[in-house]
Amino acid sequence: MIFRIGKMLLLLLGAYFLTFMQSYWHGPRLWLGFQPDLTPALLVFVGMTMGAGYVSSLALAAGLWLDSLSANPFGISIFPLFFVGWVVFCIREKIMIREFMAQIYLGVIASLFVFLFQLILLGMLSVSPMIGWEMAFWSLLNAFFCGLSVPLFSCLHKVFRRWFSNSPYEPNKWLNNNRQIVRGKD
């Protein structure tokens, strides 16, 4: 139970940090010309590796945080993020989620889907942001970054698991090899 709460807190802390960086760190905007949005990649990763509760909580928190730092109507980012996380969660048994390339493809598709879904929702609410070919190019570039981020999040997850959980029991591994009884001839 405590492990689950800790995991959830760590996840929310990661989303908080990601959202904060997106708004308050100007570096990428100066180097790339735009601000990458990696929250779809985080939702894909959570959908791949964690439960439905994590997907819902993260989509809600990340969506609200993103919209609170934006001129978007409040709450509009929740549904696209939730949808992406939920779809990945539902089909994860059927796809090769451990494959590096599969993770990249999922990140790319999720990012493009969230971008389009947000635009459709904005259009439905009669809000007209600035859109053009350059924005489409940026969304493709952002999708590429999201694709790369999914395996990165997976690696980070593995590292954290190694740090915060007990080492797995391996019956054939001895702490002191000298004490192992080796049977058979040399």
Contact present, 126 and 119 (Cβ < 8 Å): no
- Asked if 140 interacts with another protein (CB under 8 A), we say no
Minimum CB distance to another protein, residue 44 (Å): 19
Task: Map the footprint of another protein across residues 30-49, applying CB under 8 A.
Answer: 30, 33-35, 37
Minimum CB distance to another protein, residue 159 (Å): 23
- Asked if 54 interacts with another protein (CB under 8 A), we say no
- Asked if 128 interacts with another protein (CB under 8 A), we say yes
Minimum CB distance to another protein, residue 23 (Å): 5
By three-state DSSP, how is residue 15 classified? helix
Burial 149-163, CB ≥16 within 10 A → b, else e: bbbebbeebeeeeee
Minimum CB distance to another protein, residue 96 (Å): 32
Number of H helices, E strands in the chain: 7, 0
Instruction: Choose the binding region for another protein from 17-25, 46-54, 93-101, 104-112 (rule: CB under 8 A).
Output: 17-25
d(CA 163, CA 158): 9
Q: Which amino acid is at 39?
A: T
Contact present, 84 and 110 (Cβ < 8 Å): yes
Strands (E), 3-111: none
Q: How many residues does the chain have?
A: 186
Instruction: Choose the binding region for another protein from 21-29, 45-53, 84-92, 175-183 (rule: CB under 8 A).
Output: 21-29
Q: Compose the 70-109 pattern: x for residues touching another protein by CB under 8 A, - for all others.
A: xxx-xx--xx------------------------------
